[in-house]
Amino acid sequence: MENLFKEMAQKIRIFMGISIIEDPYEKNSSETLLHSIPLRAIISDVSPASSVWKMPGIVSEKTKQIIIEKKYESLLKQSQKIRIDGEDYYGYKVNGRLSYTIEQDYLRAYVYIKKES
């Protein structure tokens, strides 16, 4: 897997952020994004039909699967958005926590572009 990761990995940028609750009664909050952190990841497209099964309840325009090294787990958990090839993606969250799977020394997560309605 290490050789595959070295050959296929592309640069992505992870944006950390601070969420401030402005009104606790109406649950209004605002986000302030911090500087981005560059990482290397294996990126693959996910078909629209497959994304419905992998991310239930999410209507997305475009979905990608990213695989990063396990040592960046905390960065992935705290990320507010992920930029891949100039497009901003958001991580799939379940109950407010980012959903990902750990496979040996790597993490697999799904990111998507929100569909405008």
Domain boundaries, the chain: 2-114
Asked whether the predicted pLDDT for residue 117 surpasses 70, the reply is no
Residue 32 in tokens? 């302030």
- Does residue 106 carry a pLDDT above 80? yes
Q: Among residues 88, 96, 93, 97, which one has the least CA distance to residue 116?
A: 88
- Residue 94: pLDDT band with limits 50, 70, 90: confident
Q: To the nearest whole percent, how much of the chain has pLDDT over 70? A: 96
Nearest to 86 by CA among 10, 4, 9, 6: 10
Cα angle value 58/59/61 (rounded, 5°) = 125
pLDDT, mean of residues 34-40: 91
**Global pTM value:** 0.80
Mean pLDDT of the chain: 85
Cα of first residue to Cα of last residue in the chain, in angstroms, is: 40
CA–CA distance, 73 with 106 (Å, rounded to integer) = 9
CATH of 2-114, picked from 3.40.50, 2.30.30, 2.40.10, 3.90.660, is 2.40.10
